[in-house]
Amino acid sequence: MALSVEDQLEIQQLYSRYNHAIDFGDADGWAACFTADGLFNGGTGGSQSGTEALKGFATAFAARMQGKARHWNTNLVVEGTDSGARGKCYLMLMNLKDKPAAPMVTAVYHDELARTADGWKFTSRAVQGD
């Protein structure tokens, strides 16, 4: 299934909202990037599924990070599937304690997405170290 330009733009906005929410401690906003039964597999951080577990993960992560880093994605590739979309991108992390801060590619995201009544959301997101 081919994605429209509007779908592609909305998916790019989802990725941006996800990063902004986790960087600024918005656990509700971060969890809202997933479907209600969404799954996040953070590698060594374990897996969380469902809105409340995702909020708990984001809250704990924000407490540990406390504004120490910024996330963003690069080389995003999204393709349509019969059930929604599949995405893959590199996670770049900038450690704000470093002066000057230098971005590093730290992982690769493998994503499954679905269009919902509230727009595109992750149904599953897996992080693999790079």
| pLDDT number for residue 36 | 96
| pLDDT number for residue 28 | 96
Q: What is the CATH number of the domain that holds 44?
A: 3.10.450.50
Q: What is the pLDDT of residues 5-56, one digit of tens each?
A: 999 999 999 999 999 999 888 999 999 999 999 999 987 668 999 999 999 9
**Between helices 51-65 and 5-23, what is the axis angle to 10°?**
50
CB atoms within 10 A of CB 32: 20
| Domain range for 98 | 5-129
Q: What is the pLDDT of residues 84-124, one digit of tens each?
A: 999 999 998 887 777 777 778 888 999 999 999 999 999 99
For strands 34-41 and 47-49, give the pairing: antiparallel
| Number of folded domains that form the chain | 1
Res. 130: pLDDT tops 70: no
Note the Cα 106 to chain centre separation in Å: 14
At which residue do the structure tokens 């995405």 appear?
Answer: 87
For strands 119-129 and 103-116, give the pairing: antiparallel
| pLDDT number for residue 94 | 83
Whether 116 and 98 have beta carbons less than 8 Å apart is answered as no
Whether 83 and 111 have beta carbons less than 8 Å apart is answered as no
**Spatial distance between the Cα atoms of 118 and 120, rounded to a whole number of angstroms:** 7
Q: Give the chain's end-to-end CA distance (angstroms, integer).
A: 29
